[in-house]
Amino acid sequence: MTLMKCDVCDSPTATSLHFGAKSCKACAAFFRRTVAQNSTFKCITGENKCKIHYEKRMNCKACRYVKCIKKNMKRNKVKSQMKHKPARQSTSSSSMEPPSPVEQNNIQDEQEQIDVVNVKMYNEDEAINSASLMQYPNAGGMLEYQEVALDCNTESPQTSEEYYSDNNCGIIPTFEVIEESAIEGELRQHLKCESALNRRRKISYNCTSVKDLFDNNYCIVPFEKSQLTEFDYKTFQGFHNFEYSMHYDYACSFPGYDELSSAGKNMVYRYCLGVDIVMNSAYYTSLLGYEDGVFVSSDGKTTRMVPLPITGEEPGAAQYFQSNEEFQRYRTLICPKIRMWKYVIEPFCQLQVTFEEFVVLKALTIWQFSLRMLDEPSRRVYDYHRNVLFACLHK
């Protein structure tokens, strides 16, 4: 496969033409989503001259869309978001009759409801996804990858709906009988993985005594309340290399990871990063900060959420900041935290999950998000470990 440079964001991962322009899948997904939802944007600087580059944490959507058009992307080449399989024809003569006006209205009403649900689900996913990425703004191609993954019509391997079609294993996946020893072994391995990741966080973020690293108990949370420090959006520098290494070790010890293809390992590793940022922040907050109205991120930084801080969207909000750059930085880093608090943290804390339940839910989330990007051999690995993890939840 020959890689080219994207005409829109200069990403070196463009492989073909999308909607008439040479672009990466992230820009193609952005353009498709913008056209399909008929979205409109305003330039974040008001000058309509923002630089669009794949390494930037927050590209201006207005300028990005304008550049897509300038680079010859065609709106009329974007297909409808909704794809429906034709209904199976019956052998009876009645199947050839057109629907009555009442039936036609019911079909249209049902279609409108589906469209509304799809848009709502996408918006919530986008809010959660931006919350996971705002902590690591320098994570290379991860922003580009996440945009691709969240778009249902991205040109990628089969979606989960296609995978579980009538030609494979039916609409509902089948669940094989799992040996009790396999269930216990899988659960034990995931607990060890999560505990090891927490110990790495202890070493990386805290002044931890060596003797505290080698007890025989699982490390459930890497911080104590006294070790938490306040998040400062003005000095935040983004993702550090040791955090890549920390998550790489976690992914390599993930049950089933060694059985994946090279491309499958790449996908699962990327989702380990994103899911860990969101779910571990939720879990640490439930243990250390929720009762006090404090958001605790996966690196031990806190942000007070009760009362909710300003989002930056309020009229005249910019006057509280010394410069426009500081204002934009605040909106980039704090707004995703607010959305994450509302859509993830609060519902998660109400579940009051145990450490074992959290570990299994996290693993299931990683597998489920990775599914649509996995090739056929890797999906067979997914099938088995998904079944085992579901069995773990019922223990």
- 129: tokens are 């996804």
- Beta carbons of 231 and 301 less than 8 angstroms apart: yes
Q: Identify the segments of the chain with pLDDT beneath 50.
A: 1, 81-97, 102-103, 105-174
Range of the domain at 241: 180-393
Q: Say whether both 221 and 369 belong to one domain.
A: yes
For 186, 203, 370, 394, the CA distances from 183, given in Å and listed in that order, are 5, 31, 21, 10
Distance CA 59, CA 249 (A): 31
CB distance 137 to 239 below 8 Å:
yes
Domain termination residue (choose one: 62, 79, 96): 79
CATH code, domain with 354: 1.10.565.10
Q: Tens of pLDDT along 303-338?
A: 999 999 998 888 888 898 999 999 999 999 999 999
Q: Is residue 110 in a domain? A: no
Determine the pLDDT at residue 171.
35
Q: Is residue 94 part of a domain?
A: no
| Residue 163 resides in a domain | no
List helix spans (H) across 135-179: 142-150, 160-163
DSSP letter at 11 equals -
* Residue 164 resides in a domain: no
Residues 70 and 185 in one domain: no
Q: What is the pLDDT of residue 262?
A: 92
374, 157 contact by CB (below 8 A): yes
Structural domain contains residue 351: yes
Handedness of CA 270, 274, 279, 285 (dihedral sign): positive
> Which among 27, 62, 79 is the end of a domain?
79
d(CA 185, CA 197): 18
Distance between CA atoms of residues 76 and 380, nearest Å = 38
Please give the pLDDT value at position 79.
75
Pair (75, 197) in one structural domain: no
Any domain includes 166: no
Give residue 138's pLDDT: 41
pLDDT of residue 174: 47
User: What one-character DSSP code corresponds to residue 341?
Assistant: I
Let me know if residue 93 belongs to a domain: no
Query: Running DSSP on this structure, what letter comes out for residue 342?
Result: I
Structure tokens at 212: 């505290």
The pairing of beta strand 294-296 with beta strand 301-304: antiparallel
- Is position 281 within any domain? yes
Residues 244, 362: one domain?
A: yes
Q: Which domain-ending residue is among 34, 63, 79?
A: 79
What is each CA distance from 295 to 39, 234, 269, 290, 388, in whole angstroms? 31, 18, 25, 7, 32
Query: What is the CB neighbour count within 10 angstroms for residue 172?
Result: 7
CATH code (residue 8):
3.30.50.10
Selection from 62, 70, 72 nearest residue 30 by Cα: 62
pLDDT of residue 276: 95
pLDDT given at position 337: 94
How far is 309 from 335, CA to CA, in rounded Å? 9
How many domains does the structure of the chain reveal? 2
Could you write out the DSSP letters of every residue in 270-310?
HHHHHHHHHHHHHHHHHHHTGGGTEEE-TTSEEEE-SSPPP
Tokens of 204: 């990386």
Residues 25-59 have pLDDT tens digits of: 888 888 888 898 888 888 888 888 888 888 775 67
Question: Model-level pTM?
Answer: 0.58
CA-based diameter of the chain, in Å? 79
Whole-number Cα distances in Å, 312 to 132, 269, 292, 327, 333: 19, 33, 23, 8, 11
